[in-house]
Amino acid sequence: MRVLVVLWTVWAAMLFGGYALGRPDAGGRRLPTWARIGSSAALVLAAWVGYGSLRGGQLAGPALLLAGGMSLGLLGDLFMAGLLPVSQPVLGGMAAFALGHVAYCVAFLGLGRLLAQPLALRLAAWAVWLAVGLLGWYVAVFRGARQGEHSSLHWAALPYSLLLASTAGLANGLALLRPVFLFTGLGGALFLISDMLIAWQLFRQARWRWLDDAIWLTYGPAQMLIVYSAWLAARALGA
């Protein structure tokens, strides 16, 4: 569909063009707010266009969940950018992101069931990525705190990390038997990497000049790969 190609071009121009042309702010971030939010908005439109093309088919349900998850991701971006009038933007953003990943997980479970993939293999992939998420949380969050200083926030980061690991695990479970979902799996993996970078920033007080941009340059492609590759895979499978 031409409109999806146009939206992909807009997304790429916003994210990578904004990074290339942006000037570093006081914290070293090159990617301006308008580019970050604009790139996410382009993906939201693409997700809903993709759902519209699959509406009425057997994969309409998973496509709707992916569009909903992407929309919640944009809401989280607006919270985190401080563009919504709330007193706790970080909590609002994390809640929106978490709900978005629940939607992604349910979508991937639905895809696996509709495509009659072996449950045991999908669960094995899920378990492996849960272990990766647990290790990432331990290194980036738990180990970064001084002994005896683990707050409720440190422990709250654990289920969140496992939720993102679930997104990666279920996406890669699809890819194990259906190579057409390989890029969906890569998107899930990039999501987890982006989250680990955020955790390093929040809990290790990392202040690397490139860190904020690295978070977005993994997070943005993660969203794009999930939205576009899942839609292309559905089309390739005749859904």
pLDDT at 148: 52
Please give the Cα distance from 114 to 140 (Å, whole number): 36
pLDDT at 15: 94
Tokens of 181: 């979902």
Q: State the CB neighbour count (10 A cutoff) for residue 21.
A: 12
Give yes or no for a contact between 134 and 161, defined as CB atoms under 8 angstroms apart: yes
The model's pTM: 0.91
How many helices and strands in the chain, by DSSP H and E? 9, 0
Give the least confident one: 109-113, 149-153, 222-226. Answer: 149-153
Structural domain spans, the chain: 2-236
pLDDT band with cut points at 50, 70 and 90 for residue 216: very high
Q: List pLDDT tens digits, range 13-22.
A: 999 998 888 8
Helix (H, G, I), strand (E, B) or coil at 42: helix
pLDDT at 121: 85
Asked if pLDDT for residue 146 goes beyond 60, the answer is no
- Mean pLDDT within 39-48: 96
Give yes or no for a contact between 102 and 72, defined as CB atoms under 8 angstroms apart: no
Q: Is 87 exposed, middle or buried (0-12, 13-18, 19+ CB in 10 A)?
A: exposed
